[in-house]
Amino acid sequence: MTVSPFEGFKHFSAMPASSLEKFSPLVEPAVVELWRAHGIGCTADGFLRLIDPAYYLTMIGEYLPRPDMIPVLATGMGDIVVAYSGKYRVLEFRYARATGGVGSSLARIGRRAADREYLEEFLDAKPYFEAMDTYGPLNSPDDIDYIFGYKLPLPAGGPEGVENLTRSRIFEHIALTVQLSGPIPFAG
């Protein structure tokens, strides 16, 4: 199946050749097509980011529930979509949980990335869009590692609401959340 390219994708850099070589055999061809077509960057006003799995494993690999998970997408709320055991799971660090995921293929994700209803339903994007309307989007090359994170992470008792969101680096926010609430429970 050919992948649907991301609508309105903002390209920031090419996917490193070393990442393509290492991870291409471990993910479905649709993801490899996205990496080759788009490289690293974002869509959906900065909410959905195509990321370098090697870089993310270096930065947050110790916080993933399983060492064989491969980060392929990140969200502007600090969640990570990982390839694991032939499926894609969403690690919602902001809630300290893993969801059932987005299925066994990302071939249609390009088409769906422009659909806010889809993003809100499957990736809980509504808080990002509310924060974007208040603080502006995180959609420039300088923003690739930044998210809207809760000042006090939700699992540690922080309140939800746009007034409690702040611009922060995804890696530090994930580390803080895991330190305060423990690792994401994951049964497989």
CB neighbours of residue 25 within 10 Å = 7
pLDDT at 144 exceeding the cut of 70:
yes
Rounded to whole angstroms, how far apart are CA atoms 164 and 153?
10
3-class secondary-structure state, position 79? coil
pLDDT at 139 exceeding the cut of 80:
yes
The residues with which 146 forms a beta bridge, in sequence order, are 169
Rounded to whole angstroms, how far apart are CA atoms 47 and 125?
7
Alpha carbons within 13 angstroms on the beta-carbon side of residue 8 total 13
Q: What is the pLDDT of residue 188?
A: 66
Is the model's pTM score more than 0.95? no
